Chains A and B, each alone.
Chain A
């Protein structure tokens, strides 16, 4: 078989399978409990206070999704558990139709900081500017779990992230950095 045939057939297979995965991930909604894209169609939308930083987005843009972009920023969470005492700064980015949070910086109890490796820790799959749902990575006894979580806006600089997974519950407070 000619090398060019091998290349074209292989590329065809890769493009087909990857395209299918992306189509079902971003193009098709499963409906029900698991919306797959960021929306602002929730009728119970609570108008959040105008955030100072992304104000231009909120004021000048009424396009779908733009009102939620104020969440794109760095957010700090303080932990005081047996496993970790200190704070972690997360960077939330918009990727495709979802928001992803990546570890950005670690801060110990004494205030010493260290740059984090940029691990994805949270994917916000639906968000209407005041409430949302996502998948949160939690480490427990050395094992990593990806669990469903809920997000609720407190004020322009604070939101809570809560989860309840088989009795393992917690509420984290995320403060704008």
Chain B
């Protein structure tokens, strides 16, 4: 077992495995699954104009997000990541099963904290609220992103590079976590077996995360492993029927409104806040924070 974990891996093989899951899963899982969801919506007589336009808006926001992600990604990887890796990192790790698994787990843990931060600071929620603003829950919602959603993952993954992991491996692991998360956006799959539900993030756990029911707020931030939530006090099981969306619905399927509504609301909030330091605090304080009068 120890020899297996220490066995050196070929970069080409590792990149190929990630390619199979990270890139190709869109075609062999996500799109077919979304088609299945549409059939289910039609069967349940829930396939209406709003749902179709909402799904289109989701894909459009993903396009905008992807553009920002590409620019930031290129900058981050070629400049920041490699500078950190070459100048202020622990000894560089070789590529073997153990480092690969540890990197994915660390990326998953970083995702937990990044996700939690997005929910718990004003500027984070201003962008991440876009993802939660759909009243529906299907695979297309996984692609509903806000304009600044690409920044936080870079901030949270840099420490992993500092720990000695190859920047490309860190990036591939991050995408792996994100793709795993994508697969959880479905109502088709109910609860899985208890051991799976105990260890892994599942569609049931992630439905809770998207719930606007009060007890479901700010719960189940996990990417792959739900044990992070269990260990850090943010776990909530799915009991009450989940009502999807946010506490102040946007009632729009216009992709531009959807994409910018969080930032627009945040700017309005900043205008209401008096004092420069209070305005700055609004960026890092919880989304519902307002200075005492």
Contacts and interface: CB of A to CB of B under 8 A. Distances in A.
B62 interface: no
Interface in B101-131: 102-103, 105-106, 109, 113
Contact of A36 (B6, B82, B103, B105): B6
A95 B92 contact: yes
Contacts of B168: 144
A117 B99 CA distance: 25
Contacts of A23: 98
B7 interface: yes
Interface stretch (A10-18, A62-70, A74-82): A10-18
A29 B97 CA distance: 13
Nearest to B86: A118
A96 B83 CA distance: 19
A17 B232 contact: no
Given A25-B93, A30-B96, A145-B11, A14 B6 contact: no
A36 B92 contact: no
Given A21-B165, A95-B91, A28 B6 contact: yes
Interface stretch (A45-53, A105-113, A119-127): A119-127
Nearest to B228: A13
Contacts of A148: 10
Contacts of B99: 21, 24-25
A10 B98 contact: no
Judged by DSSP, the binding face of B is helix
Contact of B92 (A1, A14, A20, A100): A100
Contacts of A174: none
Q: Is the interface of A mostly helix, strand, loop or mixed?
A: mixed
B94 interface: yes
A24 B5 contact: yes
A148 to B, nearest CB: 8
Given A10-B232, A96-B91, A118-B82, A18 B163 contact: yes
B6 A22 contact: no
User: Which of A22, A25, A100, A119 is packed against the most chain B CB atoms within 10 Å?
Assistant: A25
Contacts of A9: 231-232
Nearest to A119: B82
User: Which residue of A6, A29, A30, A118 has the most chain B CB atoms within 10 A of its CB atom?
Assistant: A30
B109 A14 contact: yes
Interface string A113-140: 0000111100101000000000100000
Interface string A136-155: 00000000111110000000
Contact of A6 (B87, B91, B232): B232
A100 B87 CA distance: 13
A19 to B, nearest CB: 9
A24 B6 contact: yes
Size category, B interface = 35 or more
Contacts of A95: 91-92
Contacts of B97: 24
B86 A102 contact: yes
B189 interface: no
Given A13-B109, A96-B91, A117 B82 contact: yes
Given A1-B233, A119-B82, A30 B11 contact: no
A17 B90 contact: no
Contacts of A6: 232-233
Contacts of A96: 91-92
Interface in B62-88: 78, 82-83, 85-87
B114 to A, nearest CB: 12
Contacts of A98: 91-92, 94
Contacts of A84: none
B12 A145 contact: yes
B164 interface: yes
Q: What 7 A-B pairs come out closest when comparing CB atoms?
A: A146-B11, A24-B98, A1-B233, A96-B91, A21-B102, A34-B8, A30-B6
Interface of B: 2-3, 5-8, 10-12, 78, 82-83, 85-87, 90-99, 102-103, 105-106, 109, 113, 159, 163-165, 168, 228, 231-233
Given A21-B164, A30-B96, 11 more contacts: A6-B233, A13-B109, A30-B8, A34-B8, A95-B92, A98-B91, A102-B86, A120-B92, A125-B8, A135-B11, A144-B168
5 contacts: A1-B233, A17-B106, A22-B164, A28-B2, A28-B6
